[in-house]
Structure 1
Amino acid sequence: MNEIIRNARIVLDDEVIVGNITVTNGVISNIANGELRTKSGVDFDGDYLLPGLVDIHSDNIEKHISPRPNVTWPSTFAAMAHDADVVGVGITTILDAISLSNAISLGGADGSRTKLAREIIDGIRVCQKADALKAEHLFHIRCELTDVDMVDRIRQLGDDLPISMFTLVDHTPGQRVFRDIGTWRNYRKKGRGLSDSELDRLLDAELDAQRRYAGPNRLAIAAIARERKIALAGHDDSSVEDINEAAALGSSASEFPTTIEAARLAHSLGMKTIMGAPNLVRGKSHLGNVSAQECAEKGVLDILASDYVPVSLLQAAFMLTSEPLGYALPQAIATVTSNPASACGLTDRGRISIGSKADLIRVRYTDGLPVLRCVWRSGVRVH
């Protein structure tokens, strides 16, 4: 089956052309310059044709499965609501970020986080089997290194779960995102209402868990990633040592580096630097770490992830084209399409090129506002 999209501003890898594409059996089969006068196909009337967005890290489903404190929504309905959110903002491939951990540092010692993770995975898998989801949902497993059982939990997921990335996460105070222990104390006190004496005991327990488990877990998870050909990323890297350690393990990316020094080194070593799109839209990190804008200004921003706000992905990409950043549009769009796709080995999508999947979005850009008009996945219109 052929579908023609005509009279579009087509964003390619390194240029924008006015032209047309042909989609055959879900794949882009032809790209041509110039206006097409036929009345067949879809007339874009000068709107942008972009690759479908690839979101490398999303926590969005959590707000649907836990819409209120002490409320758990049925996981299948939560998955469908989450899917509607992401397709409705142009995301055609999403890596749902799942924390399996019962680590003390995440407040998961009661098993609640592992239970939530299992419900999320099961809900998405049931919906996939029922063909109830419009985006392609893959999994990004956040591996908390201080959890004694983390490696066993990864193995229990089985080989058939479509995992595209492992991230090595360590929330132990005194390093990375919580280099300042005072910041950690304030964050934990606000989030969990702990007293000073309770925080002291929690600090001792987290430091002990890190000493015992972080090193062995890091090596074991990296080995699983190599064996199963799953992309590996560092997380909250803050120092030269953090980046060099991640690179030595074979990491293809540094997710949410907390300092410009770490971001710069990761980029120079060929690791993709991932920053949160909400960080760019808001102009700052919610934890006071390096901003996505500073990384962009220094030329070390490679990938934007929606993190907890799906709509931020398209907004942030177009923000990169405005002053003071001034990215060319193809370079900006690559941060939410081809760059995240390549970082996790998805070479069949993320760009408009012959042979690529016809995951496509139509965007009208008016008065600084990117407005999504249509979404196609594998050539089928889904929004």
Structure 2
Amino acid sequence: MSAQGSDVILQRMMSLHPKIIDLTLDRVWRLLDALGHPERALPPVIHAAGTNGKGSTLAMIRAGYEGAGKSVHAYTSPHLARFHERIRVAGKLISEDALSAVLDECWTANGGESITYFEITTCAAFLAFARTPADVTLMETGLGGRLDATNVFEKPALTVITPISLDHQQFLGETLAEIAGEKAGILKRGVPCVVGPQPDEAMEVIEARAARLGAPLLAHGQHWHAWEERGRLVFQDETGLMDLPLPNLPGAHQIENAGAALAALRHLGLGEAAYEAAVTRAEWPARMQRLREGPLVEMAPDIELWLDGGHNPAAGEALAKHLATLPDRPTHLICGMLNTKDVTGYLRPLAARAQSLTAVSIPGEANTLPAEETAGIAASVGLSTGTAASVAEALAQIVAKAPAARVLICGSLYLAGHVLRENG
């Protein structure tokens, strides 16, 4: 089957519901019933929710399992370049033939009923996983947790809640407590939960729900700690101390994500090979990713080029902290964002670390914030700004005035995906 096969089916699936996001589990349960409940046939599930860091944390858990010789199913979203990235079957990205087959089966079983794109494609992932043996299934929520399409497991092996901050308020609630209530919806009776660093307001909600369900918590700052010391990662829990290399995923925030991954792997008894592999072998594109080849690099060979898909205030703070640790070099931003995001909150911490921001609109995205509006907001937080018609044009403008600068392309995973596709 041609590579076009799954693209055609996916495009058709976009028409099954008028909204991209419509949080409920009713449609998912209906389709899973029609499919014979493939979610019940999956290997043990580790289910992760959170505002920031859940993808990186699951990437490290996956690297740990694979370092211990285990096979892993993994479901993540959104994809960057191709939909296939969302579904990793026993360690490998799903093949085009397999993806087209499970999508087609879900389309037929759904019978034209109303269902969102994320819901029906999540069911397709369950089908693919149920038919291939593996040792564990890693499952990332799409949005929230309580009503997320992935929240269909009665007894996962473990749940994980990474740091919670304000994002997607139009769906999850206006306060940290409300958002935490949605994220904590993945907690299950008697199932342990690894909890990353949280604001007090969020932690109180998680602890209250865990107490009601009898779900043991393995919480940062209480049951485990992770920190950098002398260029190493030190992890400590009630079992003892581990001295490991720093995470290969850059950024100080990855220390805490690594801590959550190590807490999960240690609780599940994976062993020493898994712990080191978790921090040294994890791969997670568009999270402070250094671009070293491709057309963009070729047009600016003396530029230090980075790509990041973070898009909320907490991500902006994490990026600013990481930029502060890099060798001194003028830093310029190329930024495109969605109109649903807190652009001011994202850009404010970055203003102290960048010499300029060139705003772009995100190609092909209906909800892109126009470049002129992004530039206006950037100017309001103190950044020198300009606009460009494309990332390549923005880079050319920067190279003309600062040929040996550091350039960070940032603001959206959708922009990051576009850059990765265009840059090969």
Whether TM-score is above 0.5 comes out as: no
TM-score scaled to structure 2, two decimals? 0.27
Larger RCO (alpha carbons 8 Å, 6+ apart): 1
TM-score scaled to structure 1, two decimals? 0.29
Higher helix fraction: Structure 1 or Structure 2?
Answer: 2
Higher strand fraction: Structure 1 or Structure 2?
Answer: 1
